[in-house]
Amino acid sequence: MKDKLKTGDALLVVDVQNDFCPGGALAVPDGDTVVPVLNAWIEAAQAAGIPVIASRDWHPADHCSFDDRDGPWPRHCVRETPGAAFHPDLDLADDAIIVSKGRDRDRDNYSAFDDTGLADRLHGLGVQRLFVGGLAQDVCVRATVLDACEAGFDTHLIRNATRAVDVSPGDGDRALEAMRAAGAWIEDTA
């Protein structure tokens, strides 16, 4: 599939950050295994001349999603800290479009489209078909894919480029089902 990338496509890499990888503050099991898969997609996207977008969770130190503010998560992805940096092996080029989310201390954004202007930006670039991978399958990837469908993109989840946190067993599988029901294509594409 990635050999067929063409004008009108884009690649969206969701939250491949140190804190979501093994050793990080909110580690997704095997989260780092998405990196080589996504690097191959990034290379193919560059060869096809299509946009590469990378979202990142970019929280203030007192963000409402953190457990010390009675939120659901341990403190993670505090902006400008090593935990919020992209995984060091992720081969983002200088012209990658970086989208930061979760920046408001009192509001969380799971979706890369939430409060970021990303949909308008992609429409402006003529993007119609979107390939999505990254972390976590059952949290921010799920929310991003649902919003992408809602915004009218022909949305393809690269399943083997995602991993779930699975806070409750089965969350990953339920997320796949929700994305499929919203109209996304779920694909395993090396």
Report what 139 binds from Zn ion, ligand VGL, none; CB cut-off 5-8 Å by kind: ligand VGL
Q: Report the half-sphere exposure of 149 (CA within 13 A, side-chain side).
A: 16
15 catalytic per annotation: yes
Q: Helix axis angle, 171-181 relative to 140-150, nearest 10°?
A: 10
Q: Report the half-sphere exposure of 134 (CA within 13 A, side-chain side).
A: 31
Two tokens at 155?
Answer: 């949305």
Report what 119 binds from ligand VGL, Zn ion, none; CB cut-off 5-8 Å by kind: none
The size of the interface with ligand VGL (CB under 6 A), counted in residues, is: 10
Beta strands in the chain (DSSP E): 9-14, 52-57, 97-101, 129-135, 154-163, 185-187
Selected binder of ligand VGL within 140, 157, 161, 164 (CB under 6 A): 140
| CA-based radius of gyration for the chain | 15
Selected binder of ligand VGL within 9, 15, 32, 147 (CB under 6 A): 15
Beta strands in 62-153 (DSSP E): 97-101, 129-135
Two tokens at 148?
Answer: 């992408």
106 catalytic per annotation: no
From the candidates 2, 19, 108, 140, which is the catalytic residue?
140
Q: Which stretch binds ligand VGL (CB under 6 A): 80-88, 113-121, 131-139, 180-188?
A: 131-139
Q: How far is the CB of 188 from Zn ion (least distance, A)?
A: 27
Selected binder of ligand VGL within 10, 24, 52, 57 (CB under 6 A): 57
Report what 131 binds from Zn ion, ligand VGL, none; CB cut-off 5-8 Å by kind: none
Selected binder of ligand VGL within 41, 58, 66, 73 (CB under 6 A): 73
Residues designated catalytic: 15, 101, 140
